[in-house]
């Protein structure tokens, strides 16, 4: 890909915020807004505890960015960017640092179910907590088979029609469909909600100023990677 980009003289500008002023300066005929979605969060007591990690936290960890999750995490983050890769992440997840043995996944659709499977394969015991009465939306059949195998082994437990009341030092307090309150005893909590569409107003701000404006991928609606690639290809092909 790098060779193709160089041969086609593609102008790539990193660490650059795209604004209407910048677009007006460049004066393109077409703008494709593909700035991704935004991470969904939960507004419940305890969501900022040191043992609670959002998708954004995990991404920052991969990039060696401090996530303010206690002294130890802050101390090692500056070095993480130099040593973290896919292999080291897999190794870390097989230990109790930073994600311990018993895990709650807050979210039971594509993101949460996929994460639960991944964690179970690393030796974790995972409880998936989902507010809807169904789970695993968007999961492919072969992956769903693996998830169900982990459920049968007792490594994954699914709670549907269940909402989170709070997160405390003992785990996650939940309320089921009958209004019954209970405690899910876990050490680590992962927020694994599907992405929300981008809240960027760039596409709307550019309409009428640029001949053609397209918003694609998670910037428009949450989808799978193959859908994003297909949408990007077809959008460019049809220009």
Write out the chain's pLDDT in tens, 239 residues: 788 888 888 889 988 999 999 999 999 999 999 988 887 888 999 999 999 998 878 777 666 666 777 655 666 656 666 666 666 666 777 778 788 999 999 999 999 999 999 999 999 999 999 999 999 998 999 999 999 999 999 999 999 999 999 999 999 999 999 999 999 999 999 999 988 888 788 999 999 899 999 999 888 887 778 888 899 999 999 99
Q: Which of 85, 146, 84 is nearest to 116 (CA)?
A: 146
Task: Give, rounded to a whole angstrom, the gap between the first and last alpha carbons of the chain.
Answer: 21
Q: Which of 160, 144, 137 is nearest to 223 (CA)?
A: 137
Give the residue carrying structure tokens 């979210």: 107
Looking at residue 76, what is its pLDDT?
60
Looking at residue 223, what is its pLDDT?
78
Phi, psi of 178 (to 5 degrees): -90, 0
| Three-state DSSP class for residue 165 | strand
Q: What are the structural domains, with CATH classification, of the chain? A: 2-37+197-237 (no CATH), 52-191 (3.50.50.60)
Name the H helices within the chain.
Answer: 2-7, 20-26, 55-62, 71-83, 86-93, 110-121, 141-153, 202-206, 225-237
**Are 180 and 152 spatial neighbours (Cβ–Cβ below 8 Å)?**
no
Looking at residue 41, what is its pLDDT?
83
Looking at residue 82, what is its pLDDT?
64
Q: Which of 126, 58, 69 is nearest to 92 (CA)?
A: 58
Looking at residue 85, what is its pLDDT?
61
């Amino acid at each position: 890909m790098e060779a193709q980009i160089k041969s086609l003289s593609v102008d790539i500008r990193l660490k650059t915020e795209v604004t209407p002023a910048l677009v007006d300066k460049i004066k393109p005929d077409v703008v494709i807004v593909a700035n991704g979605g935004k991470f969904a969060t939960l507004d419940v007591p305890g969501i900022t505890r040191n043992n609670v990690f959002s998708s954004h936290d995990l991404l920052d960890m991969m990039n060696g960015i401090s996530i303010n999750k206690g002294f130890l995490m802050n101390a090692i983050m500056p070095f993480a960017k130099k040593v973290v890769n896919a292999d080291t992440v897999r190794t870390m997840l097989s230990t109790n640092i930073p994600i311990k043995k018993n895990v709650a996944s807050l979210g039971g659709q594509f993101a949460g179910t996929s994460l639960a499977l991944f964690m179970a394969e690393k030796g974790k015991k995972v409880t998936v907590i989902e507010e809807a009465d169904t789970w695993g939306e968007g999961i492919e059949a072969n992956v769903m088979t693996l998830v169900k195998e982990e459920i049968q082994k007792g490594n994954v437990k699914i709670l549907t029609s269940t909402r989170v009341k709070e997160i405390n030092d003992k785990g996650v307090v939940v309320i089921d469909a009958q209004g019954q309150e209970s405690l899910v005893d876990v050490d680590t909590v992962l927020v694994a909600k599907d992405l929300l569409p981008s809240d960027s107003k760039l596409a709307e701000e550019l309409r009428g100023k640029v001949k053609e404006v397209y918003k694609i991928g998670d910037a428009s609606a949450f989808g799978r990677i193959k859908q994003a690639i297909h949408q990007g290809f077809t959008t460019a092909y049809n220009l």
